[in-house]
Structure 1
Amino acid sequence: MRAIFDQELSQIGEDLLHMATLVATAIRDASQALATADLQLAEQVIEADLALDELERALDERCVILLARQQPVATDLRVVVSGLRISASIERMGDLARHVAQVARLRYPEKVLPESIRPLFDEFAVAAEKVAVDLVELLQSHDLNKAAQVEKDDDILDELHRQSFTSTLGPDWDGNVSQTVDVTLLGRFYERFGDHAVSVANRITYLVTGDLGDGEPNNL
């Protein structure tokens, strides 16, 4: 029985890794769709999010069944409960990537961003993809140094978010009302993407050390 239980715990980790890999692809493609007004790519991101949602539902069901049947304690209980929390955070990251793609689709065939702010969102794209890739590596390794790197990645997204506000509120802002709304929302989407990655990093830290750290971000 223990061997079967260990196999099921291992499967939870593999499923979380698969979800994170899909999210890394989603944020990369959503950012590209945003930058290039690529409708087909935006639609692809939106459609792919349905598969991510299904993965979360299946993983959560597996975790609940384990809790009910095996009644795990100590480290095993931490693994199962953390699996539930991590899957929710990763699924939310997928939703945020989908939101970026939906903005690109909404404004097609026009590009969403005014020329003046496109370099800033190029930085958003790079930083968001980095936090997603680092998250994949963290789920593979459970390396606490990588968990700390995810938090540093999030600091960059937070700073870019502040810069986006400064840009839209500054005297040189040349965007219209819809562009101002889009930039505000998009900055928020990227910023929250990083926050949920930090939530996962905190959960991995908890699994390794027993210390949850700063806990979970509030849902958007």
Structure 2
Amino acid sequence: MREVFQQELAEVQDRLVEISRLVAISINKATQAFNESDVSLAEEAISEDEKIDELTIELDELAITILARQQPVARDLRIVVSALRISASLERMGDLSTHIAQLARYRFPDKVVPKSLRGTFAEMGSLVTAIANMLTELLTNEDMALAETIRNEDDKVDALHLSVFDAVLGETWKGEAADTVDATLASRYHERFADHAVSIAKKVQYLGTGAWQQNTGAPHTSA
């Protein structure tokens, strides 16, 4: 029975990695679509979300079955419960990727944000894509150094997010009302995507070290 249980735990990890890989693919397509006004890539990113949702539901069902049948305790229990929480964050990351892609689709053939902000969003897109790829590697290998790197990269995303707000609230901002709304929404989606990655990284750190890592930056609201 113990061998079967360990196989089931390994399957949980494999499924988390699979979902994370799809999320990384989705955000890569979504940010490219956003920055390049590529409606085909936007549609591809949006279509990824259904698969992410399906795999998340299947993983949750597996985890609940393990809880009911195996009744794990101590670290094994923490692994299963953490998997449920991580899958929820991954599912939300998929949603946020979809939101970014939808903005690109709605504004096609125009670009979503004015020229003055395109460099900022290109950098933000590169950061969240890199974070998603690092998260997949973290879930695969449990390399704790990657968890710290994700947290550091999130600080850069936060700084860019604040710079977008400074820009749209500044006296020199020339954008229309729709430009202001699109820029603030898009910036928020990028920032929340990175925040969810940090949340997952903290859970992996906790499972690996037994110590809960507190946020050192400004508090974030949930989404």
Fold match, TM over 0.5? yes
Q: Distance in 2 between matches of 1:65 and 1:23?
A: 25
Identity %: 46
CA deviation vs aligned residue, 1:38-87 (integer Å, no higher than 9, x gap): 11111111111000000000000000000000000011101100100111
Name 1:26's counterpart in structure 2.
26
In the TM superposition, residue 13 of structure 1 has moved relative to its aligned partner by 0.5
1:55 paired residue number: 55
1:125-140 equivalences under 5 Å are 125-140=125-140
**1:160 corresponding residue in structure 2:** 160
What do the CA deviations read for 1:10-35 (whole angstroms, capped 9, x no partner)?
01101111111111111111011111
Aligned to 1:40: 40
Q: Indicate the SS of the match to 2:112.
A: coil
2:113 is paired with a residue of what secondary structure?
Answer: coil
Deviations 1:92-129 (A, max 9, x none): 11110000001111111211111111000011111111
Give the secondary-structure state (helix, strand or coil) at the position aligned to 2:214. Answer: coil
Gaps of 5+ in 1: none
Give the Cα separation in 1 of the matches to 2:46 and 2:100: 9
Alignment of 1:1-220 (within 5 A): 1-214=1-214, 218-220=221-223
SS of the counterpart of 1:158? Answer: helix
5+ unaligned residues in a row in structure 2: which ranges?
none
How far 1:175 moved relative to its partner? 1.2
TM-score by length of 2: 0.95
Letter in 2 for 1:140: T
- AA partner of residue 80 (structure 2): V
CA distance in structure 1 between the partners assigned to 2:157 and 2:115 by the alignment:
20
Tell me how far 1:171 sits from its aligned partner: 2.0
Q: Contact (CA 8 Å) 1:86, 1:200: kept in 2 or not? A: yes
* RMSD of Structure 2 on Structure 1 (CA): 1.4
Change in 2 beyond 3 A, CA 1:68/1:218 = farther
- Partners in 1 of 2:104 and 2:69 — Cα distance? 45
Letter in 2 for 1:164: V
Moved more, 155-164 or 134-143: 134-143
1:33, 1:42 within 8 Å by CA — same for their partners in 2? Answer: yes
Q: Which amino acid aligns with 1:37?
A: S
C-alpha distance in structure 1 between counterparts of 2:68 and 2:4, whole Å: 15
C-alpha contact (below 8 Å) 1:196/1:217 kept by paired residues: no
C-alpha distance in 1 between matches for 2:116 and 2:52? 34
Q: Which moved more, 1:39-48 or 1:187-196?
A: 39-48
Measured in 1, the distance between the counterparts of 2:78 and 2:143 equals 17
Q: Contact 1:199–1:217 at 8 Å: present in 2 too?
A: no
Which amino acid letter does the alignment assign opposite residue 39 of structure 2?
Answer: L
**Worse-superposed segment, 59-68 or 140-149:** 140-149
Q: Aligned partners of 2:56, 2:113: CA distance in 1, in Å?
A: 32
Query: Equivalents in 2 of 1:17, 1:164: separation in Å?
Result: 32
